[in-house]
Amino acid sequence: MRRLLQSIIYNRKLYDRPQDEWVCGRAAEGCPCVFGPGSQGECRATSQCLPAKQGDRWICTRPISLGAACETGPRPDGACGCPVPPCSPQRSLRAQRRRLTWLVTSLALGLVVLALWGWRRTDWSNPGPLTSQHAMSAQRCSECHLEDAHVAFTGSALTARQAEHNQLCLKCHDLGPHSNSPHGAAPAQLTALGTGKKSAPGAAPLVLVAAQTVGPGGPSDLACAVCHQEHHGRNFDLKHMRDQQCQVCHQAQFASFGSGHPEFSSYPYERRTRLQFDHVTHWQKHFADARLAALAPTSCAQCHEPSPDGRQMLVRGYEQTCANCHTAQINGDDRAGVKGLVFLRLPEFDLTALEAAGAAVGEWPAYAKGGLTPFMRWMLEQNAADRAALGTLGPVSLADLSAASPAQKAAASQVLWSVKGLLADLITQGQPAIMRRSGAAPAGTTPPSRRTGQFSADSLLAAQQAWLPNLLMEVAAYRRGEKPSRPVAVAAPAVSRLVAPVAAATAKAADPDDLLAEPDPKAPAPSAADDLLAADPVVVAPAAAPAVSPPAGLEFDDAEARVAEGGWYRRDDAYELYYRPGGHADPFLTAWLEATVNDTRTTAQAIFSQLAADRAPGVCMKCHTVDRTETGALLNWTAARPQPGQRKFTSFKHAAHFSLMGDQGCSTCHVLDIKSDYVGGFGANRDTRVFHSNFAPMTKSSCTTCHQPALAGASCQQCHNYHTGDLKSLRLKAAEYRAADKAAPRPN
């Protein structure tokens, strides 16, 4: 039997104190003292025992484990006879561990204090680098975090704190009034999007069904941080989402794009085109016409080109597409009848009735026809008095005042003089008068200057010389408060269609008796006595003599023909001044269309209707359309263009798919629908969602050929965007914020 090292005899065992802070320094030598070290680590041993007194004797009390009573015994004074030299107590193992624990804890505490309040606290307490998008703008924690607010513990306080944090994100990222709503959509829009959406039986994956039981983290209050988690490195993808995370809120859930994703209903034709262009009739009828073979395009790429980012297919400019065939329609060359637009006219007045009512009429052609043109009415209505007069007139015709009340006759008289005044202003002031009488342009539209159409005051002056030779003197007298009597009625001009070009008429002297005479600078000015109406020298314009007939051997072309490239001309037989469009994107037409499209006044709508009519000069609205928007109407001057501030639910990159086109080219995906009533979506309709596309909707199968997880990928984010709508304000607000941030003082 092997000998045991440790004694198992009870009174031979030593008393161990492993829990004590200190251990006797002699323990390692096998003779620890019975007292052990003190709590502060001091040696308390002076002897091997504390002798006890029995009667008059001292007895040794050394324990058996140390050899029991010694032979020498205690000294007479009661001191132990076996003194023990002091030792150096050692810390126990437990004490050493405790000291280490305190040391490590203190180090950790120091590190934490340094990290949270040290001079490099931003670096130390930063949970990780920001993404490159935020790294430049967010240099201070307080830009994105509520540093000064108290830490929240209760549920409501946490919710409020989260909302405040969210506002810090929205400080730069303005996502609209419903930023916390899914997709930033209004509740009504969300409801509409979800209406009728439901997963097919068994189509919803089990994991999504289970996730519904957890309760999706929205949709009533989606914080930015739900999806975008920062501080994960420069190149961390803030926008990455798993397909299941995209679907968890959706009512119609499915396994993948290839399995369960709803079939396309109208994609990508989600609204009518901005330009009315019937692909079916053009490709099947016009381009197939042998007479147009040289002009017609032979491929889609002749009219369409990819946008710089390759996403959108754009329509090339007018000159590259429509100009070959449609320019003559626009400038009127191919047009039967009047090629210009009536801008001014001397309207027919019931002069007899006016005179009978005692109104001073002055000079006015006896054979004037027609009423005020919408343009004249527009310009007259800018004046409050004229507007009131026109209002008083109401539906009464200026040409027949027999049934008019005295007030209406007075109003008609005022309108007559207002028309004269308008003509005088246009003659004497020219384009500024039009601009002044056009009113202010709505924000975002073309400036009023373009509404003048480069109006020539001289052309009107020439017309005035032919129509109302005394107009300027009459207006001057009227404005002085005099009442000019009516002279002999002006007959219709002798030459009605062969009037002189405007430029030629402007240099003539203002002598009514000698229309073709050169002005004599030495001739005395006509005296007031000679002048029946005492012309105001300020108002009187240089006299102009309308050309009556060309010299022998010369012949005037038609007035319209002489302004084939656009401009102003007149018809003396009808006392009318016309404007002929100069080609595509004529400034005069576009400016007036824009000025009136959103104006609900009767006059404005009359102008718009005149310009937008099917057969209107310029035929602008044959191709260009008007969309009804939330703020009114929007004139589409161009086809769809990339709008960086606008983001739709679906995203597609055309350029990436060019190499996949088959022999049919674009028709691989865009198949003409020859039965579609494309034109029916236009006309009076302004709702962009009511339309019939020229093309059949695409099918999902054309995408799933490649878009599978193992091939081109089939994640939601490849084709869909979460944040949609107008994101323009996002950049604007960020720019404003950066500017303010630069100006703000920074702490050291």
Partner 1 sequence: MKTYLVRRWVLSLVTLLVGTGLILSWQLGRIALRPVAMTTGWLLLALVLALTFFNARKKLPFLPLLSANIWLQIHLYVGWISCGVFVLHTGVRLPDGPLELVLAAAFVLVALSGVFGLWLSRWLPPHLTRSGESLIYERIPMLRHQLLEEVRAIVRKAETETQSTTLADFYLRVLSHYFARVPGLLAPLMGDDAAFHHVRLELTALRRFLDAREVAFADQVGEQLELKRNLDAQLAGQRLLKLWLFAHIPLTYGLLVFIAAHVWLVLQYSHRM
| Residues of this chain, 135-154, that bind partner 1 according to CB under 8 A | 141, 145-147, 151-153
Nearer to partner 1, 21 or 381 (CB): 21
**Rounded-to-integer distance, Cα 523 and Cα 534, Å:** 18
Nearest Cα to 622, choosing from 666, 584, 660, 662? 584
Nearer to partner 1, 121 or 271 (CB): 121
How far apart are CB 93 and partner 1 at their closest, in Å? 6
Nearer to partner 1, 219 or 587 (CB): 219
* Structure-token pair, residue 708: 């599978």
How far apart are CB 16 and partner 1 at their closest, in Å? 5
Question: Can residue 525 be called a binding residue for partner 1 (CB under 8 A)?
Answer: no
Question: Can residue 23 be called a binding residue for partner 1 (CB under 8 A)?
Answer: yes
Question: Can residue 2 be called a binding residue for partner 1 (CB under 8 A)?
Answer: yes
Q: What is the 3-state secondary structure (H, E, C) of 320-331?
A: HHCHHHHHHHHH
Question: Can residue 302 be called a binding residue for partner 1 (CB under 8 A)?
Answer: no
| Residue choice 16, 263, 514, 557 for contact with partner 1 (CB under 8 A) | 16
Q: Please name the helix (run of DSSP H) or strand (run of DSSP E) that holds residue 305, with its range, or none.
A: strand 304-306
Question: Can residue 653 be called a binding residue for partner 1 (CB under 8 A)?
Answer: no
- x-or-dash pattern for partner 1, window 228-247, by CB under 8 A? ---xxx--------x-xx--
**Rounded-to-integer distance, Cα 376 and Cα 372, Å:** 6
- x-or-dash pattern for partner 1, window 672-711, by CB under 8 A? ----------------------------------------
Nearest Cα to 585, choosing from 620, 613, 551? 620
Stretch that binds partner 1, among 204-212, 404-412, 462-470, 680-688 (CB under 8 A): 204-212
Nearer to partner 1, 174 or 243 (CB): 243
Nearest Cα to 652, choosing from 706, 589, 695, 591? 706
DSSP letter (8 states) at residue 526: P
How far apart are CB 45 and partner 1 at their closest, in Å? 16
How far apart are CB 175 and partner 1 at their closest, in Å? 15
Nearer to partner 1, 31 or 712 (CB): 31
Nearer to partner 1, 9 or 443 (CB): 9
Nearest Cα to 635, choosing from 591, 602, 579, 681? 591
SS3 213: helix
How far apart are CB 119 and partner 1 at their closest, in Å? 14
Question: Can residue 6 be called a binding residue for partner 1 (CB under 8 A)?
Answer: yes
Is residue 515 a contact partner of residue 464, using CB atoms and an 8 Å limit?
A: no
| Residue choice 35, 124, 264, 652 for contact with partner 1 (CB under 8 A) | 124
| Residue choice 69, 82, 84, 223 for contact with partner 1 (CB under 8 A) | 223
Nearest Cα to 347, choosing from 321, 373, 328? 373
Nearest Cα to 609, choosing from 375, 439, 400? 375
Q: Show contacts with partner 1 in window 36-95 (CB under 8 A).
A: 93
Alpha carbons within 13 A on the beta-carbon side of 286 = 13
**Rounded-to-integer distance, Cα 354 and Cα 393, Å:** 13
Classify residue 66 by burial, with Cβ atoms within 10 Å: 0-12, 13-18, 19+.
Answer: middle
Question: Can residue 206 be called a binding residue for partner 1 (CB under 8 A)?
Answer: no
**Rounded-to-integer distance, Cα 661 and Cα 669, Å:** 8
* Structure-token pair, residue 378: 């527009």
SS3 23: strand
Nearer to partner 1, 244 or 605 (CB): 244
| Residue choice 52, 59, 68, 107 for contact with partner 1 (CB under 8 A) | 107
- x-or-dash pattern for partner 1, window 156-185, by CB under 8 A? --xx-xx--xx--x----------------
Nearer to partner 1, 93 or 200 (CB): 93
**Rounded-to-integer distance, Cα 182 and Cα 218, Å:** 8
